[in-house]
Amino acid sequence: MEDQIILYIDSNYVSPYAMWAFVALKEKRLAFALKTVDLAAKQHREAGYERLTLTGKVPALVHGDFALAESSAIIEYLEDVFPAPAHPPLYPAGAQQRARARQIQAWLRSDLTALREERPTTVIFREPSPKPLSEAGRAAANKLVHVAASLLGEDAVNLFDDWCIADTELALTLNRLVANGDPVPESLRHYVQTQWARPSVQSWQRREA
């Protein structure tokens, strides 16, 4: 019998990191159970969850008797343990393209703090924010748009020849602006809309594992 897979996510379905791990599982065509963690009720601080994840963070993956937190570690683990061609790849084939995808992933997690604070993912999944961006928020938005436009040619719907997980991550980050009605060039809006229509992303929005 195959080891069971469980993904722990936030109960409000607004964690971008949880969404990226969920999309990775879906794109790999893996069956998994979803368990929700109520962050407001501090369920992630309960001893059992902290013991399981080491860090008490959401998302966390359980595969058999192995548990892992951190979305990037989860994504890399799935790619290692469920490789192509049996399971669709999460990364491009070439070493340089894989490296570029990982650069984008690491950058999205470590930079653009003002944008992440002023345009939380609730602007995508719940309702827009009426507040204009601060100077720091605008600077972060401009940097994101500049990097995305440099990577994506006019009318590109993927970063590379085929979809990869960095596309979902970049699209979600751009969607912090698009969904809120902040100015974004039309070609990037089209990229976001195309990425958002992927069945794996739609499944997250419909909350179905």
Among 13, 19, 32, 44, binds ligand GSH (CB under 6 A): 44
Task: Please state the separation of Cα 48 from the chain's center in Å.
Answer: 25
- Whether the CB-CB separation of 28 and 82 falls below 8 Å is answered with yes
Task: For residues 146 and 83, give the distance between their C-alpha atoms in angstroms, rounded to a whole number.
Answer: 33
By rule CB under 6 A, what string of x and - marks binding of each residue 73-112 to ligand GSH? ------------------------------------x---
Among 15, 180, 195, 200, binds ligand GSH (CB under 6 A): 15
Note whether 10 binds ligand GSH by CB under 6 A: yes
Task: For residues 136 and 115, give the distance between their C-alpha atoms in angstroms, rounded to a whole number.
Answer: 8
By rule CB under 6 A, what string of x and - marks binding of each residue 109-128 to ligand GSH? x-------------------
54-73 positions binding ligand GSH, by CB under 6 A: 56-59, 70-72
**DSSP 8-state secondary structure symbol assigned to residue 91:** S
Distance of CA 139 to CAs 3, 146, 151, 169, 186, Å? 46, 10, 18, 20, 19
Kindly list the residues in this chain that would bind ligand GSH in the complex (CB under 6 A).
10, 15, 17, 39, 44, 56-59, 70-72, 109
